[in-house]
Structure 1
Amino acid sequence: MPAAATKPKPNRSTARRPVPMDLPYAPTAKRPLPPGRPRDWYITHNRRLKAMRLAIALLDSGVYVPNQAHNETIRSTAERVGIRPPSDTTCHMVRALMRYSR
């Protein structure tokens, strides 16, 4: 019998691990945004990135339904992960992203 056949397979579980919410948010490496776009494009782009970070943090903390994600919940999650409090528009965008995450 070949040696490879007797080796145990590594555990490649797809189960989610709990994410500690008490640690500050650690941003990924930033790249410069493309020059020459209108100012509104940059504002919308940064708003989408913030909404995505917040939606992921909410999903990791156990808030899976947009109806559970009230503005206060989203803002407290932002404070917990070290992001500035989002506007009402960004909170609306977070709920929209959560609707499509199902």
Structure 2
Amino acid sequence: MAVATIRTKPFETLPTTVRKPLPAGRPREWYETHNRRLKAMRLAIALLDRGVYEAASASNRRIRSEASRIGIHPPSDTTCRMVRALIRYSR
């Protein structure tokens, strides 16, 4: 019986960089916070590149639409607050 194989293109949303594995032995909350900060940073940079320089103009809806535009999962409310804080401190 023949088996079909499917080839897909690699998922490319951000420039690929050499990533080091995260250190083992930390509590789960540390990894969750670390990944949340990375996601917030990516979103803040993308919004700043699109001309959103005021935290007040970065609504949850706008942040989530930017996330879908750059190909990452929609952020939580906590991550959206982090994005606004990063935009606020980028001035």
* TM-score with structure 1 setting the length: 0.74
Partner of 2:69: 80
TM-align CA RMSD: 1.3
Q: How does 1:45-84 map to 2 (within 5 A)?
A: 45-84=34-73
- Give structure 1 stretches of 5+ with no counterpart: 1-22
Structure of higher CA gyration radius? 1
Q: How does 1:1-102 map to 2 (within 5 A)?
A: 24-102=13-91
- Give structure 2 stretches of 5+ with no counterpart: 1-11
* TM-score with structure 2 setting the length: 0.83
For residues 73 and 34 of structure 2, the distance between their equivalents in structure 1, rounded to whole angstroms, comes to 16
Following TM superposition, the consecutive aligned residue runs of length 4 or more in structure 1 with deviations greater than 4 angstroms are none
> Percent of aligned pairs with the same residue?
69
The change in CA–CA distance for 1:52 and 1:101 in structure 2 (over 3 A counts) is same
For residues 54 and 48 of structure 1, the distance between their equivalents in structure 2, rounded to whole angstroms, comes to 10
Letter in 2 for 1:67: A
Deviations 1:29-80 (A, max 9, x none): 3220011111000000000000000000000000000000000000000000
1:27 is displaced (CA, Å) by 4.2
The total of aligned residue pairs comes to 80
Q: SS of the counterpart of 2:74?
A: coil
